[in-house]
Structure 1
Amino acid sequence: MGKVTGFMEFERLSEANLPVTDRVKNYKEFVLHLTDEQAKVQGARCMDCGIPFCTTGCPVNNIIPDWNDLVYQQDWRAAIDVLHSTNNFPEFTGRICPAPCEAACTLNINDDAVGIKSIEHAIIDKAWENNWVVPQPPAHKTGKKIAIVGSGPAGMAAAQQLARAGHHVVVFEKETRVGGLLRYGIPDFKFEKSHIDRRVEQMEAEGVEFRVNHAVGENVSAEDLSKDFDAVILAGGAENPRDLPVPGRELDGVHFAMDFLRPQNKVVAGDTVPNQIMATNKHVVVIGGGDTGSDCVGTSNRHGAVSISQFEVMPQPPEKENKNMVWPNWPLKLRTSSSHEEGCDRDWSITTKELIGENGKVTALKGAKVEWKDGKMVEVPGSEFTMKADLVLLAMGFVSPMQKVLDAFGVEKDARGNAKATTDGVGCYTTSKAKVFAAGDMRRGQSLVVWAIREGRQCARAVDEFLMGSSSLPR
């Protein structure tokens, strides 16, 4: 633990952001990690709580109290070793994870959780600054070959673990760059892609081979992968978006969120994207109140939208959760992102009834207020409204991974269209097809980056056991 009385002496300190007027001018990250002294004080707040719920609240089971104490002691070198023991990419989670560990923190009972995410962010940045993140090539090669389909966080985590176990790993990515939804689904102002590039360099030095522009079902045969490799891991992201079946859906100016976000990320990376969807000088309506919708808001602000409205069909969450009812589990409560702070009108319990257009282009949205009664959505009489809309972005989540990959391998699916595979017991992460495994969004559906890393690591161990009979990789 940190200082014995630290949680009583010191208040929580959140990371600072650059001013809105500065940060909306570009696509650079604007969250500033804690100074050494600030991180030390925050580490001191970690209490000897007996049962550290933070470690179970964290999907990768980070050993949080240990590295909090090491930061308090200013032993940064040991802190990164402990952090890396459970998490291959803490610079990813330290920036974009919603921090379920903090919701589970014992101090969160009084709304004053330890700033775990900010400490993690400071540790990994310190490690990169001091060149402590180095390749760890295996001492011996096994001669086994593993194909990984998808280079997002699940695929990257599995690849790194298996390469370090001595296997030859080839990662197949359909895009021109490695990273999957981590690269193309998350705006650079939240997560600059140099963090991925550094890890790719490290992993290549460890023996991982990346093949971009390789899409299963197009220029890569599932049959060939199954024949040429000793094991295959399906680790693609959940990219099949939920649609909005209303009149006017076909109008020009109505797009899925990823069709808006992905091109912008490519432009930031230096690519030329013809006919890029822009929010400049437009009245933008974002349908969907989650993280993807928030990313659309932040990107629209940087494009220079005239106005931005975000609608959510579910009721507005409470500003404060009932801790006695939900702690240490993840609470439903109102969350305001940095993108919302940059400018956005939000409303809840809104249903879209129709999209109105002229000459084939969307010009307005017709909606109404709804109430939820006995689990059913009921329109509020007299609440119908019409508002101007030049660009409508559908950010209502993702229903499943891309089916053509699963169909190409012929694996059995669950009721939600994901690859069917368990995470327990002998044969975990295996699909219905021999030597074909599934992890991350491909197995569990749309989820968090930290869940993808967990499943990639665990799947790597399962594959190692399958190939070698036993494994020294962590569970």
Structure 2
Amino acid sequence: MDGPERTQEMTDVQAKAEASKCLFCFDAPCQTDCPVGIDAPGFIRRILQQNVQGAYHLIHRENPLPWICGILCPTERLCASRCPRKLMDHAIDIGRLQAYASIDKAQAKISKPSRGTLGNRVAVVGTGPAGLTAISCLARNGFQVVVYEAEGRAGGLITYGIPPYKIDKRRAIQEIENILDQPGISVHLRTRVPDPNELLKEHVAVFVATGIGGEMLDRSVAKFKNVYRATEFLKTLNRTHLQGRPFKRDLGPEVLVIGGGSTALNAAVSIRLLGSPNVTVIYRRTETEMPAWRHEITTARKCGVNFRFLLEPSSFIGDEGKVSHVVFRQTELGELGADGRRKVLARRGKKVEIAASSVILGTGREKRNGLRWLKREKVDESTGRLEGANIFLGGELLRGAGLIVQAVADGKKAAHEIEMLLRGRI
């Protein structure tokens, strides 16, 4: 599956040419704006000096998923957003330079030194970007790390949520395995943890980064066989891709994708690349308010995805267990709400009925069911620690859906907090 994303590798000549454009700013905004604090001018200088190994080590010191983040980070809103080079021509392509410096390490197993085992066992539940980062940091600092993952493969969102057109899954999985192959780590796949409090009987601390649930489905909608959650669609697509099997689900000629975030657009582009002739993204605000990144919207348009705005689903029409049409109410934008976004208001006028062979819901996601042990009012938002227990939260479970690199930052912070907590016992 191919798509016009940031997956084209830089050649040595291209990387050196791009690196030569860096102004090597004092107090560089690119480092300040990186959630994990990567020294971008530092690693770019090393690329320019043809010290790619040194560039990699400088990146990896702050981020154990350097190639994955180099490919997937929305640099236009992060490290490159305030690049002074934009005043001359364009911002430095920091993401692709980071991927260039990391690609050899992402596809080859490498040994990583450890400080030795301290004897303290720490459990990590979930192997998405936050969990993987915590695992790497804790193991590097000498802890014994016991990993619990509900799926058959590690990686969480990276493995099951990001579609194949966006990233080379083989290289991504290798970078993930590089982390889990470190000394002092034991991994238990296909293992669910109903209550992390139980793990405290055999572990001195627990980090939980299991993500959040899928899109919310009303009962009146869930009865239709051709209405799918975007997260579940992407998980099925990724599973078949990883197994080397073709995706056989027939979505029909008129697919509606409801929602304006990255997950919705990932699903829409994937469906279009699978061959569905008409894929339409429908969003209740305007394109300007879409949560998806600008490059994702551009990619969707290049792939032939259609867009319709200021429409909100009102009802689903169908029989024999299948939707045939979706009725939308027209909307307009009001004043700013408490979340800083303009409120969505119903507009007077005729409702809009649109035919659909399948519907993908990429709207709001619900907190994962089954976390009866978790009382959110007792979570310290600054540290992620659960009051009265050596349990820490991170990633989507702590802050909701967000960026992979922010989840990496959460994993780093959790590992640091756990180390500080246990330092008296070491």
Tell me if TM exceeds 0.5. yes
Which consecutive residues of structure 1, in runs of 5 or more, have no partner in the other structure?
1-21, 320-329
Asked whether the equivalents of residues 265 and 297 of structure 2 are also in contact (C-alpha less than 8 Å), the reply is no
Could you report, residue by residue, the CA deviation over 1:266-296 in whole angstroms, capped at 9, with x for unpaired residues?
A: 11111889xx882443310001111111111
1:326 equivalent in structure 2: none
Q: Equivalents in 2 of 1:164, 1:345: separation in Å? A: 47
TM-score calculated relative to the size of structure 1: 0.80
Q: How does 1:131-170 map to 2 (within 5 A)?
A: 134-170=110-146
2:225 equivalent in structure 1: 252
The alpha-carbon deviation at position 352 of structure 1 amounts to 1.3
The alpha-carbon deviation at position 236 of structure 1 amounts to 1.3
Query: What letter is aligned with 1:187?
Result: P
From 43, 53, 59, the equivalent of 2:29 is 53
Could you report, residue by residue, the CA deviation over 1:123-146 in whole angstroms, capped at 9, with x for unpaired residues?
A: 1114457x6x62224242111001
Could you report, residue by residue, the CA deviation over 1:30-70 in whole angstroms, capped at 9, with x for unpaired residues?
A: 82111111111111221143331111211111101111111
The alpha-carbon deviation at position 97 of structure 1 amounts to 1.3
Query: What letter is aligned with 1:49?
Result: C
Q: Equivalents in 1 of 2:99, 2:175: separation in Å? A: 16
With over 3 angstroms needed to count, the CA separation of the structure-2 counterparts of 1:75 and 1:247, relative to structure 1, is: same
Asked whether the equivalents of residues 260 and 292 of structure 2 are also in contact (C-alpha less than 8 Å), the reply is no
With over 3 angstroms needed to count, the CA separation of the structure-2 counterparts of 1:66 and 1:198, relative to structure 1, is: closer
1:305 equivalent in structure 2: 276
Q: Equivalents in 2 of 1:294, 1:101: separation in Å? A: 23
With over 3 angstroms needed to count, the CA separation of the structure-2 counterparts of 1:128 and 1:442, relative to structure 1, is: closer
Query: What letter is aligned with 2:348?
Result: P
Query: What letter is aligned with 1:239?
Result: G
Q: How does 1:66-77 map to 2 (within 5 A)?
A: 66-77=42-53
Is residue 291 of structure 1 aligned with residue 267 of structure 2?
no
1:395 equivalent in structure 2: 362
Could you report, residue by residue, the CA deviation over 1:208-260 in whole angstroms, capped at 9, with x for unpaired residues?
A: 1110111112xxx53431111111111111224244x5965532211111221
Asked whether the equivalents of residues 350 and 369 of structure 1 are also in contact (C-alpha less than 8 Å), the reply is yes
TM-score calculated relative to the size of structure 2: 0.89
Query: What letter is aligned with 2:84?
Result: T
1:448 equivalent in structure 2: 403
Could you report, residue by residue, the CA deviation over 1:82-129 in whole angstroms, capped at 9, with x for unpaired residues?
A: 111111111110111112111132334577211111111111114457
The alpha-carbon deviation at position 187 of structure 1 amounts to 1.1
Q: Secondary structure at the match of 1:23?
A: coil
Q: Secondary structure at the match of 1:135?
A: coil
Asked whether the equivalents of residues 125 and 208 of structure 2 are also in contact (C-alpha less than 8 Å), the reply is yes
Query: What letter is aligned with 2:420?
Result: E
Which consecutive residues of structure 2, in runs of 5 or more, have no partner in the other structure?
337-342
Q: Equivalents in 1 of 2:139, 2:237: separation in Å? A: 33
Is residue 236 of structure 1 aligned with residue 210 of structure 2?
yes
Query: What letter is aligned with 1:421?
Result: D
Is residue 270 of structure 1 aligned with residue 243 of structure 2?
yes
The alpha-carbon deviation at position 178 of structure 1 amounts to 0.8
Could you report, residue by residue, the CA deviation over 1:179-198 in whole angstroms, capped at 9, with x for unpaired residues?
A: 11221111122123322234
2:191 equivalent in structure 1: 214
Query: What letter is aligned with 2:209?
Result: A
With over 3 angstroms needed to count, the CA separation of the structure-2 counterparts of 1:246 and 1:378, relative to structure 1, is: farther
Q: How does 1:375-454 map to 2 (within 5 A)?
A: 375=336, 376-400=343-367, 402-405=368-371, 407=372, 410-414=373-377, 420-423=379-382, 428-454=383-409
Percent identity reads: 25
Asked whether the equivalents of residues 153 and 456 of structure 1 are also in contact (C-alpha less than 8 Å), the reply is yes
From 15, 19, 32, the equivalent of 1:39 is 15
With over 3 angstroms needed to count, the CA separation of the structure-2 counterparts of 1:331 and 1:148, relative to structure 1, is: closer
Q: How does 1:94-173 map to 2 (within 5 A)?
A: 94-99=70-75, 100-108=78-86, 112-128=90-106, 134-173=110-149
Is residue 23 of structure 1 aligned with residue 10 of structure 2?
no
Asked whether the equivalents of residues 269 and 303 of structure 2 are also in contact (C-alpha less than 8 Å), the reply is yes
Q: Equivalents in 1 of 2:100, 2:168: separation in Å? A: 16
Asked whether the equivalents of residues 273 and 303 of structure 2 are also in contact (C-alpha less than 8 Å), the reply is no
With over 3 angstroms needed to count, the CA separation of the structure-2 counterparts of 1:29 and 1:176, relative to structure 1, is: farther
Query: What letter is aligned with 2:198?
Result: D
Q: Equivalents in 2 of 1:187, 1:81: separation in Å? A: 28
Q: CA RMSD in A?
A: 2.9
1:364 equivalent in structure 2: 325
Q: Secondary structure at the match of 1:255?
A: strand
